[in-house]
Amino acid sequence: MPDIEPKLAVDTIRMLSADAVLEANSGHTGTPVALAPVAYEIFQNHLRYDPADPKWANRDRFILSVGHASMLLYSMLHVCGVKEKDGSPAVSLDDIKHFRQLGYKTPGHPESHLTAGVEVTTGPLGQGVGTSVGIAAAGKHLAAKYPDLFDYNVYVLCSDGDMMEGIGNEAASLAGHMQLDNLVWLYDDNEITIEGDTDLAFTENVADRMAAQGWNVIHIDDANDIAAVKAALENFKNTTGKPTFVNIKSKIAYGFPTMQGSHNAHAAVTDAEEIKGAKKHFGLPPDEKFYIPDGTYDHYAAGFGKRGSEAHAAWKKKLDAHADGKAIADLLDGKLPAGWDADLPTFEPDAKGMASRSSSGKVLNALAKKIPTLLGGSADLAPSNNTLLADEDGFLPGTYHGRNFHYGVREHVAMTTVNGLTLSGLRGYGATFFVFTDYCRPALRLASIMQIPSLFIFTHDSIGLGEDGPTHQPIEHLAMMRATPGVYVFRPADANEVRECYKAAMKLEHNPALMVFSRQNLPTMDADTSDAAKGAYVIGPCQGTPDVILMGTGSEVQHLMEAKATLEADGMNVRVVSMPCWELFEQQDDAYKQSVLPDEVTKRVAMEAASDFGWHRYIGPKGKAIAMQSFGESAPAGELFKHFGFTAENVVKTVKSLG
């Protein structure tokens, strides 16, 4: 097959994307058309990526943070011949012809778990740039530990929306501070948003802001100037000590007769005649849909494909020759090392006990000693969250081997960074106060959509944090997170449950875990907690069939156990069920569920210092929930629990009210 010219390769990508949007009668045409030259230069001449194995650990990463331009990425993956594990196309021409249709690998916004070659699920603006910080940080960490094996770069296409979102600023600030010089953001400065020109709401000098945050800033006047894009990327690869920001001026829907430069080109479906006009402008057959000229596939195979396959083969030889090569490969593939849970602490019964945030710190440190890929930190709250790894350095410029991250007061980018670390084969974790899931939730939700085992640690889990008052006391947050599909929410009742919950969380392969811990001390109970890994278990058994079942999580289980003793003294048969993780319990078979919560026992009381939303599935129509019906108050924790009825006495009273 004859080779084709770069211009034809670029214009083919433009119109392949446009035809897919037209066929779907849905999607975004303007940005894929405008950014095709930039994507072409990245893939064809810079990205080190083996199309036959899109998951090899030292590949360069390409992230489409401007996720609504998904057809640009799908078109590139198709013509570049990126493959699935079984050798089938990551994106076939049939997938492109069925853009945004059920059952195909070309959804409206890119999904990393669905389509090989998609590194990050994007669409909510800012998530791509936010996650890129973690992926670049992972590259720096791996390079510091294994300098002969890791040196990958991270390329990100982003937009005005990414720059406007708060997460974009958080991410830029953190990446600049970390001096992640393996990271480049290419900014589509097209001055267009859905409502109109950006000057309606956005007039700051973005390039100056990025320079102030420690970035190497490059300007390109025209996205069609491939030579300028090439020079900018060479500049990036030769820059040390700073991430690079390339400010690229473009025209949305470039080449379209009536829509070029118009905000209507953002999401409006371009009509057939407009697309024909654009094809004529680019010299392509106007009446031929999904046109791919002869030589296109060979063109990309000779550049993108050849460079990536050769780089991968050379890297594989290095890995095979490395003394720890197999262990490194296994760890980055998500395999836990042998004996990873052998030395976890066991806590003796203790009426005083300790806060679950404290036992969490002990368990986390024990895990880190066995799992070298476990790393992370807190959003400026490590002393409160107990997430600092002892005897480990900080991850800072010049000490990228460190495992303690300092995210600063940036809760959102803390969690996107965790996702980036996890997507890179590490076991990333991030921590803050539980109430600040309000700031983190987009990243938590995307971790679940991406089906990755990110670890999120939240402390100060209820009104039990006390005097800081209702602004810091989470009420609705457990319900919100439990309502998020695929997220495993753990709220353990004592130190030994903390251990068992961490063990269960570390075994997750496709789901994020939220660990929710107390500020105040919890008594360490004299109980076998091994079944905590089943999500719910009988922590307070009774003889025969119970008259009543008391159930709860976290700090409230102690009150249920105390109420059990009082009720049994009155002649009742009482079972107490601790339910640290509803999601795990729902995975158990019916026989186990019935052994814990038998249908015939309808007298049930649940207690949790949070919203009662969701508890009715377990207490049934005849049960009652002792829960928060309002926000909290500012007072010492003990007073608040009494004030809001989280006491053994109120449990007894509620049980007796059931008749």
Q: For residue 268, what pLDDT is reported?
A: 67
Tokens (6 digits) for 295: 């030589």
Q: For residue 267, what pLDDT is reported?
A: 75
The DSSP letter of residue 385 is: H
Region 97-112 average pLDDT:
98
Region 433-439 average pLDDT:
97
Asked whether residue 277 carries a pLDDT value surpassing 60, the answer given is yes
Rounded to whole angstroms, the Cα distance separating 605 from 654 reads 7
Asked whether residue 622 carries a pLDDT value surpassing 80, the answer given is yes
| Dihedral angle sign, alpha carbons of residues 364, 365, 367, 368 | positive
Percent of the chain with pLDDT over 70: 99
The DSSP letter of residue 608 is: -
For 213-231, the pLDDT digits (tens) are: 999 999 999 999 999 999 9
DSSP string spanning 314-381?
HHHHHHHHSTTHHHHHHHHTTPPPTTTTTT------EEEEEEHHHHHHHHHHHHHHH-TTEEEEESS-
Region 440-447 average pLDDT:
98
Rounded to whole angstroms, the Cα distance separating 458 from 470 reads 17
Region 281-304 average pLDDT:
96
Q: What confidence category does residue 270 fall into, taking pLDDT thresholds of 50, 70 and 90?
A: confident
Rounded to whole angstroms, the Cα distance separating 143 from 172 reads 22
Asked whether residue 269 carries a pLDDT value surpassing 80, the answer given is no
Asked whether residue 1 carries a pLDDT value surpassing 60, the answer given is no
Q: Which residue type does 23 have?
A: E
Q: For residue 265, what pLDDT is reported?
A: 82
For 197-213, the pLDDT digits (tens) are: 888 899 999 999 999 99
Asked whether residue 656 carries a pLDDT value surpassing 60, the answer given is yes
pTM for the structure as a whole: 0.97
Q: For residue 192, what pLDDT is reported?
A: 83
Q: What confidence category does residue 3 fall into, taking pLDDT thresholds of 50, 70 and 90?
A: confident
Asked whether residue 193 carries a pLDDT value surpassing 90, the answer given is no
**Looking at 400-502, which runs of residues are DSSP E strands?**
404-406, 427-433, 455-459, 488-490
Rounded to whole angstroms, the Cα distance separating 25 from 40 reads 25
Q: For residue 255, what pLDDT is reported?
A: 94
Asked whether residue 240 carries a pLDDT value surpassing 90, the answer given is yes
Rounded to whole angstroms, the Cα distance separating 169 from 129 reads 9
Tokens (6 digits) for 190: 């097209």
Q: What is the chain's mean pLDDT, rounded? A: 96
Asked whether residue 292 carries a pLDDT value surpassing 80, the answer given is yes
**Which residues are tagged catalytic?**
411
For 369-405, the pLDDT digits (tens) are: 999 999 999 999 999 999 999 999 999 998 999 999 9
Count of helix runs (H) and strand runs (E) in the chain? 25, 20
Q: What confidence category does residue 2 fall into, taking pLDDT thresholds of 50, 70 and 90?
A: low
Region 530-537 average pLDDT:
97
Packing angle of the helix pair 356-370, 495-506 (nearest 10 deg): 40
The residue behind tokens 């983190």 is 440
**Phi and psi, residue 382, nearest 5°:** -55, -40
**Phi and psi, residue 49, nearest 5°:** -155, 125
Reduced to 3 states (helix: H, G, I; strand: E, B; else coil), residue 64 is strand
Q: For residue 94, what pLDDT is reported?
A: 98
Region 495-515 average pLDDT:
98
Residue 598 Cα distances to 150, 652, 658, angstroms? 54, 21, 18
Asked whether residue 558 carries a pLDDT value surpassing 60, the answer given is yes
Q: For residue 49, what pLDDT is reported?
A: 97
For 445-493, the pLDDT digits (tens) are: 999 999 999 999 999 999 999 999 999 999 999 999 999 999 999 999 9
Reduced to 3 states (helix: H, G, I; strand: E, B; else coil), residue 2 is coil
Asked whether residue 325 carries a pLDDT value surpassing 70, the answer given is yes
